């Protein structure tokens, strides 16, 4: 592999969730190029399986898309050092009102590798227990719904679910635990 070397990093904008940098990079042919980089502290998501086999999903409005989405329960880390499993446990309870003592690592994804380092660890939660009400952030308005894996796969294939973490989580769970 040929070497790429960052010779300069400039913070363009510090945000609440992301930081935007412009890097000057020396590429293998000797040229210097500018690359935009989005720095993200990371996140965790949960494939939460009820006893009846249905998966808990959250329906919420996503401002960037201008519409509602159906997604896995998920959220950002409180800091880079927070273990993603703890974030998954927290987000499951906050967004759905459920808890699980049976959390298993399922997979990791990088959401947009060309310009962003956001990594999401996806966990499987079984043996769910209700813990009461949701504990949503002031800007969250979430409805909890439950679907069979087949219903969710159909929504993926019809492009009704387009969120990458959700697609990866559902299809990884189905391939690992439901394949014949």
Catalytic site positions: 138
Q: How far apart are CA 2 and CA 40, in angstroms?
A: 26
Spacing of C-alpha 109 from chain mean position: 8
The strands making up 18-26's β-sheet, listed across from edge to edge, are: 5-14, 18-26, 32-40
Q: Which residues lie below 8 Å from residue 77, measured CB to CB, with a gap of 6+?
A: 41, 42, 43, 44, 84, 87
CB of 131 closer than 8 Å to CB of 97: yes
Eight-state DSSP code of residue 130: E
């Amino acid at each position: 592999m040929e070497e790429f070397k960052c010779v300069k990093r400039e913070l363009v904008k510090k945000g609440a969730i992301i930081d935007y940098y412009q890097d000057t990079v020396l590429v293998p042919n000797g040229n210097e190029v500018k690359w935009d980089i989005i720095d993200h502290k990371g996140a965790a998501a949960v494939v939460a399986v009820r006893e009846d086999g249905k998966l808990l999903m959250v329906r919420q409005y996503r401002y960037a898309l201008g519409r509602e989405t159906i997604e896995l329960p998920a959220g950002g880390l409180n800091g880079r050092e927070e273990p993603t499993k703890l974030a998954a446990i927290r987000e499951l309870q906050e967004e759905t009102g459920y808890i699980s003592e049976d959390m298993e690592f399922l997979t990791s994804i990088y959401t947009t590798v060309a310009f962003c380092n956001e990594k999401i660890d996806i966990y499987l939660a079984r043996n769910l227990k209700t813990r009461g009400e949701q504990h949503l952030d002031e800007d969250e308005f979430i409805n909890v719904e439950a679907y069979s894996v087949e219903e969710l796969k159909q929504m993926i294939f019809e492009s009704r679910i387009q969120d990458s973490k959700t697609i990866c989580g559902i299809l990884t769970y189905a391939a690992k635990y439901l394949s014949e």
